Structure 1
Amino acid sequence: MNDTWKPLEVSPDSTGHAPTVAGLVAHLDSVPDLGALLAREKALLLRGFAVTPDELDTVMDLLLPNRLSYVHGNSPRTKVGDNVYTSTEYPSRYTISMHGELSYAASWPSRLMFYCQVAAETGGATPVLDAQRWLEVLDPEVRDAFAGGVRYLQLLHDGTGLGKSWRETFETDDRAQVERFLADSDATVEWTADGLRVSHTRPATTRHPVTGTEVWFNQVDQWHPAGLEDEVARVMSEVMKPEELPQYVTFADGSPIPPEYITQIRDRGLSTAVDVAWRPGDVLVIDNVLVAHGRRPYTGDRRVLVAMSG
């Protein structure tokens, strides 16, 4: 296992192409198998090609051949284009811990692409982490405890309440469409007077479909109160029952997860990650199974867009 992994930086100097979007496109067109390259390198940082928002679609068409919507996503975002979103709008003073995108869902994107339009005044890096390494740095006791998987619990309100509504989460007003979507995920679905309650059980690890590598792939530290920095969320967890929270997580059998397991998972992930410090025009592509990602706190304006593909 390589303890010094970091994204492969692709630049005009390394490729021999012009420092323009046309140069980047020419380089990407010359790569015989981008999927194989990404499976080998795990993440690519495309830097120095001066990508602008107006030219982003051209790049995305090559990097994300099957762009997906953010259906069932739990992070606050704004849709700004054709399945292009702002990165999470969680308050800038907080760290977002490492995670695989939609790892709590029945299906998830295979690739994520991030684009830096505006870099933060200070901070705001996107930490990335070899998810195999994340699994390895956890204590055997913690790994063994999660062998049976985890149970995610969501309470999605009907328009007024804490967290996201079911309409925002599934990008529809049609309850039947939500039920059809969740029917494919083996989830337990219950409509209530307040909205929608969803419960589903998932493994804590998965294997990459190409490399076979086993990786830590879940969001337990983001769904558990012990992993949160947000003061409001912490107070909510102290005064509300778990089933009243917008989201919560237990072991697969419904038993509680010890808080010290959660903090170990969060802290070792963040401390092992490699920070991508953004420059305007940067594009980062990651294999969503092999690489976890997060966000460091920041000051000033920051605009990073994200898109994903199957």
Structure 2
Amino acid sequence: MEISCKDFKVGRCEGQKVVDGETMPLVLQPLEPNKSDTKSLLSALKQNKDWFEQVLIRNSAVLLRGFDVKNAEDFNDIIEAFGWDETRYIGPGLRTHVYKRVWTANEGPLSEFIYFHHEMILIRESPEKVMFFCEIPPPEGGQTPLVPSFRVTERMLEEFPEAVEEVEAKGLKYTFTTLSKNDTSSIRGKGLGGYFRNTRQGRG
């Protein structure tokens, strides 16, 4: 599939990897300096929606860089431009609702390392896609590491075939011990009340 698009140019970023011949993440930048505003980005995404979804599948992740996305309102417009379904958050992390479909990623301290994980994989309705936006960069660090899950699966099949076979046959069961109240010193700091509130409100 052709990577080029009339409304974007391909860029580079630190930490890019080549996976099965494809660059991850694929970096897309404004075609011209005067096309970096949110309105131009929304127009480009809507006009190239099918193409964007194809490169997202092919490259596993896409980074939109150099666009003038200022706040949660702008980011929400970008989210809704794709027309993807919304999945309510259910999980142990503390998150704060910001605007419409935009929530904070995690309220835990910056010192806590967040390991590779599938978003909400412990429930049946896990999201197909996850989008991130950084409005205020942290003083240091803050990068979001990515790993293509299909490569992890391939390695598991190569190195631990018996374990994979056992998991497929028996399944997996996870047990969480929930805190009685919120704990902002932990990346898994949602208290019991937060789960009930999510259930009543129908979102997380």
Under a length normalisation based on structure 2, what TM-score does the superposition of the two structures give?
Answer: 0.71
Q: Deviations over 1:175-224 (max 9, x none)?
A: xx99xxxxxxxxxxxxxxxxxxxxxxxxxxxxxxxxxxxxxxxxxxxxxx
- 2:131 maps to which residue? 113
Work out whether 1:152 is the aligned partner of 2:174.
Answer: yes
Q: 2:85 aligns with which of 63, 66, 69?
A: 66
Aligned runs of 1:10-25 on 2, under 5 Å?
Answer: 10-13=28-31, 18-25=35-42
Q: 1:87 aligns with which of 92, 105, 113?
A: 105
Q: Secondary structure at the match of 2:112?
A: coil
Q: Structure 2: state its 5+ residue gaps.
A: 1-18
User: In the alignment, is the contact (CA less than 8 A) between 1:38 and 1:44 conserved in 2?
Assistant: yes
Change (3 A) 1:160 1:122: closer
Change (3 A) 1:6 1:170: farther
Look up the equivalent residue of 2:167 and give its one-letter code. Answer: F
Aligned runs of 1:208-223 on 2, under 5 Å?
Answer: none
Offset, 1:3: 6.8
Highest RCO, 1 vs 2 (Cα 8 Å, sep ≥ 6): 1
> 2-side partners of 1:27 and 1:12: how far apart?
9
Q: Secondary structure at the match of 2:132?
A: strand
Deviates more, 1:149-158 or 1:108-117: 149-158
Under a length normalisation based on structure 1, what TM-score does the superposition of the two structures give?
Answer: 0.49
- 1:171 maps to which residue? 197
User: In the alignment, is the contact (CA less than 8 A) between 1:157 and 1:164 conserved in 2?
Assistant: yes
Q: Structure 1: state its 5+ residue gaps.
A: 179-306
- 1:224 maps to which residue? none
Offset, 1:55: 1.9
Change (3 A) 1:17 1:165: same
Identity of aligned residues (%): 25
Deviates more, 1:104-113 or 1:24-33: 24-33
- 1:30 maps to which residue? 47
Look up the equivalent residue of 1:108 and give its one-letter code. Answer: S
User: In the alignment, is the contact (CA less than 8 A) between 2:179 and 2:191 conserved in 1?
Assistant: yes
Look up the equivalent residue of 1:166 and give its one-letter code. Answer: L
- 2:74 maps to which residue? 55
User: In the alignment, is the contact (CA less than 8 A) between 1:5 and 1:130 conserved in 2?
Assistant: no
- 2:8 maps to which residue? none
User: In the alignment, is the contact (CA less than 8 A) between 1:64 and 1:111 conserved in 2?
Assistant: no
Instruction: Note the aligned Cα RMSD (angstroms).
Output: 3.2
Q: Secondary structure at the match of 1:123?
A: coil
> 2-side partners of 1:134 and 1:153: how far apart?
23
Offset, 1:163: 4.4
User: In the alignment, is the contact (CA less than 8 A) between 1:7 and 1:45 conserved in 2?
Assistant: yes
Aligned runs of 1:141-290 on 2, under 5 Å?
Answer: 142-147=163-168, 148-156=170-178, 159=181, 163-172=189-198
Runs of 4+ in structure 1 displaced over 4 angstroms? 157-163
Look up the equivalent residue of 2:38 and give its one-letter code. Answer: V
Offset, 1:125: 0.6
Work out whether 1:77 is the aligned partner of 2:89.
Answer: no
- 1:226 maps to which residue? none
Give the strand-richer structure, 1 or 2: 1
Offset, 1:160: 7.8
User: In the alignment, is the contact (CA less than 8 A) between 1:17 and 1:26 conserved in 2?
Assistant: no
Offset, 1:51: 0.5
Offset, 1:10: 0.9
Offset, 1:108: 0.6
Provide the aligned length of Structure 1 versus Structure 2. Answer: 176
- 1:2 maps to which residue? 20
